Structure 1
Amino acid sequence: MKIAVEGCAHGELEKIYECIETIQRREDIKIDLLICCGDFQAVRNHEDLRAMAVPQKYQHMCSFHKYYSGEKRAPILTIFIGGNHEASNYLQELPYGGWVAPNIYYLGRAGVVKFGDLRIGGMSGIYKGQDYGQGHWECLPYNQSSLRTVYHVRSLEVFRLNQLKEKVNVMLSHDWPRGITDYGNTEKLLHFKTFLREDIESGQLGSVPAMKLLQSLKPEYWFAAHLHCQYAAIVKHEDSETKFLALDKCLPKRRHLQILDIPSEYDGDMCLKYDAEWLAILRSTNHLLGVKNVNQHMPGPGGNERYDFTPTEAEKEKVRSLLGSLLITEDSFVRTAAPFNPNAPKITPQEPLLNPQTVELCEKLGIDDPVQVVMARSGRKMRQPCVEAKEMRQPRVEATEMRRPSDEATEMRGPSVEANEQKIESQNFESAPKPVLQTPIKSSKMSLCLPPPVTPCGNENSSPTSTPETSTPANNCDSLIYECRTPMSEGKKKLFKRRNMSIYNVSEDGSSSAETSVLDEDSPSSKYTRVGSLSLD
């Protein structure tokens, strides 16, 4: 089994799929699954753009709407979690996951599924301490506050994930687990992301609940994105280790795509399926769902109520009988909103839509849709979906606008860092030349190894302890690093200004000044990394 892992997608689905096709053709391989670590931007139309927390100048349709309308079909099964730049109104239709387009599946606010015999879990959004304990109170129409709090991680989802006892092979989050920089090459990271130093040294970088989940679930792999750079680390447990990898966003000369070889023992039937343990947890914790803008506490030891919701075999068998089959088929996908129409008015969405996928799953499991509960409390009714025939095809819209990159992630930085970043970005936009975006095709072979695990020390004077080189999971394996041409938007090429223009400049001797990977300072700048077989054992 071969899996492609993407960092921040930022709506560039066409380019990501073309990148994968290039790798498959060049290497004569078949990639079975694509996983995206947030900022997916499943934008169907102008209304969805207005429900995304980005400045208006970065609100671009990109290419997801083509896969939603049926104009194109995702060539590979795609699974994703949400980040902090999403069409939140659409993702709120699917709190427990579902198809956002044919062959493209959203894991929900938190979720676990199986692909073959590989167990994949994920947690959407980013961590903000002031909102962590609140209920899911956000609902359309959003104000400037709820537009952002709607994607903040809540304690309910983390509590549910903590009930898992069966092994999770791959775990996804958008932001990094807090303290993960203690387990990798932090100095090399700071060489490229100097603005992170203050948050790293103060212990404020990343998600507190994500690190707790990493330590309790102990997955073989943990993938993340958000900070727009590649960073690797290994966290040692008593009897195992977690290989952590953060990836960049989809831009030229950036390491945003990772190809993994998974042992064949995990192939199974290569179908997407519900996870019985996870669905049993959803059923047994439904009464903990809160929809108020106040902190709520999850049950724990010392109280009179149940606090251990790890499912029994009887509870898991009950889920299987309720669903009949755990197979997740895309037949349940329904277009609940009209696809993109360039002539449609640009309005802000006012009413949430019922999604038949959520209605069906909630009825079968006997659980509640958070948005329906919020609406019922306020005496409002959800709008029925604009169900359209699956045979409908949207006329092709040629892309003539080159999208500028979204804002660098600021949710995990201190205020002073954000101010400095905004000043630097403004200067770069004003002073940068206007080149045509094009990346030369190169190919080279080199060794790519994750760094040996580092044990953080409480004493500043003591040196980190490294394990022998043999503990490195990709040790002694040949890996291929590629530079491929970033697919251009169709139509006339457009000149534009870009931040950090120096990374695209090519010197007279033909060498590029692109930033070097934090994994290997001698490697050529590249977008794609193919890693040799990384064992899950």
Structure 2
Amino acid sequence: MKVAVEGCCHGELDAIYGHIQSLETQKRYKVDVLLICGDFEAIRDSHDLKTMAVPEKYRHMGDFHKYYTGQATAPLLTLVIGGNHEASNHLWELYHGGWLAPNIYFLGHAGCVQVNGVRIAGASGIFKQYDYRSGHFERQPYDHSAMRSICHIREYNVRRLALLSSPDVFLSHDWPSGITQHGDLDDLLRRKPHHHRNALPQPGNPDEITLGDEGGLFDAPSSGAKVFSASAAPQNPDEITLDDEIETVEPPPPPPRETRFLALDKCLPRRQFLEVVDIPAQQGEAGSPSEGASQHPPVVLSYDPEWLAITRAFQPYLSRGRKQETYPDPDSARAAVSREWDWVHAHVQPKLGDGWRVDACQRFARGANSAHQQTEAFATLLEMENLVR
């Protein structure tokens, strides 16, 4: 499966889709899915524009409204997470994830879905210590402070994501702390010297994005960063096998899984803002291609059953105030997820069918309450109270 990964979108959907189509023509391949790593700016109208936490001079409608109204259509399935410059009211309405426009799906403040069996998870927002342990206390209409704090990731979502068993791809807007030590840091600093002051030993511009080389391992916990990770089983080039020992030496244990990081820039001229990678389609429970499928099977977006179980297990701890209730200990949390796993298979799968298709529950519609309706449909699917109001 060919996956295009893009850094900060900033409303430049026309340019991003145009670049993908150009690559498809030049290289004679077909991209199956696009992943956008934040600052998507899903602005439907002037009201949404007023909820975006950016200086006035940077407020602009961008391209998204055309895809929302039907003037334009996304040419391929697009999965997005939120950053720290978003139409916060729109993304809040789809807290658990949902369709922003036809063929454009938001993973939610935290989420995991499957595309043809490939598990894609993501975390929206950026880390701020002073909001991390708070509940989701923001209420519309957002004031100046709430427009920013609503884009700050909460421990609630990190704990939920930590219960996932090995997603194939993970998206974040912030970069993982310390990952710069696993790449060519000197070269990174020569090319992009303006880093967050707490991330690297350089005075910095927190709005600048660091650009990683193709296949490189670059990272820093500064806002605007992009992370793409895929698991693989690496080979050990230093392994030596003697010919006369082939039949007498026990085979080595399976190699450890490897995480690869891809950092990308914002969509601007002469910036490396998009890369296409190959990820093998998986034979998983939801959304898997059938045996004997064609070389380019239809792209199917499915719910991830484990994430549905985690969502139900943690629903009692979703706080709508500043105070966050005490979380269960890890063993209790895992036990709760295990119970909900059984519940999800007994009660949710019959509603969705074997494919666990998202469009069997959530469908895009235009209108003032359409996003709320998708969230209500998701809550009804899991038979839980809808706290996103």
Q: Same fold (TM over 0.5)?
A: yes
Which residue matches 1:6? 6
Which residue matches 1:256? 273
Cα offset, 1:202, TM superposition = 6.9
Q: Relative to 1, partners in 2 of residues 1:227 and 1:196: Cα closer, same or farther, differing over 3 Å? A: same
- Trace 1:272-287 onto structure 2 (pairs within 5 A): 272-287=301-316
Q: Relative to 1, partners in 2 of residues 1:131 and 1:151: Cα closer, same or farther, differing over 3 Å? A: same
Q: Deviations over 1:321-373 (max 9, x none)?
A: 46333112297111133xxxxxxxxxxxxxx986111111112212333332x
In 1, Cα distance between the equivalents of 2:382 and 2:143?
Answer: 32
Which residue matches 2:363? 332
Report if aligned partners of 2:10, 2:41 keep a CA contact under 8 Å in 1: yes
Which residue matches 1:93? 93
In 2, Cα distance between the equivalents of 1:54 and 1:359?
Answer: 30
In 2, Cα distance between the equivalents of 1:225 and 1:15?
Answer: 27
Which residue matches 2:345? 317
Report if aligned partners of 1:126, 1:175 keep a CA contact under 8 Å in 2: yes
In 1, Cα distance between the equivalents of 2:112 and 2:220?
Answer: 16
Cα offset, 1:222, TM superposition = 11
Aligned residue type for 1:314: D
Which residue matches 1:181? 180
Cα offset, 1:318, TM superposition = 2.8
Cα offset, 1:143, TM superposition = 0.8
In 2, Cα distance between the equivalents of 1:89 and 1:250?
Answer: 24
Q: Taking every aligned residue pair, what percent have the same amino acid on both sides?
A: 41
Report if aligned partners of 1:173, 1:223 keep a CA contact under 8 Å in 2: no
In 1, Cα distance between the equivalents of 2:311 and 2:154?
Answer: 15
Which residue matches 2:23? 23
Report if aligned partners of 1:112, 1:121 keep a CA contact under 8 Å in 2: yes
Q: Relative to 1, partners in 2 of residues 1:179 and 1:234: Cα closer, same or farther, differing over 3 Å? A: farther
Q: Which runs of 5+ in 1 are unaligned?
A: 206-220, 338-351, 373-537
In 2, Cα distance between the equivalents of 1:327 and 1:240?
Answer: 29
In 2, Cα distance between the equivalents of 1:58 and 1:327?
Answer: 38
In 2, Cα distance between the equivalents of 1:275 and 1:232?
Answer: 19
Aligned residue type for 1:277: E
Cα offset, 1:62, TM superposition = 1.1
Q: Relative to 1, partners in 2 of residues 1:193 and 1:368: Cα closer, same or farther, differing over 3 Å? A: farther
In 2, Cα distance between the equivalents of 1:189 and 1:241?
Answer: 22
Cα offset, 1:60, TM superposition = 0.6
Q: Relative to 1, partners in 2 of residues 1:250 and 1:180: Cα closer, same or farther, differing over 3 Å? A: same
- Trace 1:122-521 onto structure 2 (pairs within 5 A): 122-165=122-165, 167-196=166-195, 198-201=197-200, 239-263=256-280, 268=289, 270-300=299-329, 308-312=335-339, 313-321=341-349, 323-325=351-353, 326-329=356-359, 332-337=363-368, 355-372=372-389
Q: Residue 311 of structure 1 aligns to a residue in which SS?
A: helix
Which residue matches 1:82? 82
In 1, Cα distance between the equivalents of 2:47 and 2:321?
Answer: 26
In 1, Cα distance between the equivalents of 2:232 and 2:304?
Answer: 27
Which residue matches 1:48? 48
* TM-score normalised according to structure 1 size: 0.58
Q: Deviations over 1:277-321 (max 9, x none)?
A: 10111112111111111344322169xx65643335523413534
Aligned residue type for 1:336: G
Higher Rg: 1
Q: Residue 145 of structure 1 aligns to a residue in which SS?
A: helix
Query: Runs (4+) of structure 1 moved beyond 4 Å?
Result: 221-238, 264-267, 305-308
In 1, Cα distance between the equivalents of 2:175 and 2:55?
Answer: 24
Report if aligned partners of 2:12, 2:267 keep a CA contact under 8 Å in 1: yes
In 1, Cα distance between the equivalents of 2:97 and 2:226?
Answer: 27
Report if aligned partners of 1:235, 1:244 keep a CA contact under 8 Å in 2: no
In 2, Cα distance between the equivalents of 1:230 and 1:359?
Answer: 30
In 1, Cα distance between the equivalents of 2:224 and 2:313?
Answer: 37
Aligned residue type for 2:305: A
Q: Relative to 1, partners in 2 of residues 1:235 and 1:102: Cα closer, same or farther, differing over 3 Å? A: closer
Which residue matches 1:73? 73
Q: Relative to 1, partners in 2 of residues 1:247 and 1:354: Cα closer, same or farther, differing over 3 Å? A: closer
Q: Relative to 1, partners in 2 of residues 1:153 and 1:230: Cα closer, same or farther, differing over 3 Å? A: closer
Q: Residue 120 of structure 1 aligns to a residue in which SS?
A: strand
Report if aligned partners of 2:126, 2:174 keep a CA contact under 8 Å in 1: yes
In 2, Cα distance between the equivalents of 1:56 and 1:16?
Answer: 24
In 1, Cα distance between the equivalents of 2:5 and 2:99?
Answer: 19
Aligned residue type for 1:272: L
| Aligned-residue RMSD, C-alpha | 3.2
In 2, Cα distance between the equivalents of 1:80 and 1:105?
Answer: 6
Report if aligned partners of 1:37, 1:223 keep a CA contact under 8 Å in 2: no
Q: How many residues align structurally?
A: 340
Which residue matches 1:503? none
In 2, Cα distance between the equivalents of 1:82 and 1:223?
Answer: 19
In 2, Cα distance between the equivalents of 1:223 and 1:11?
Answer: 24
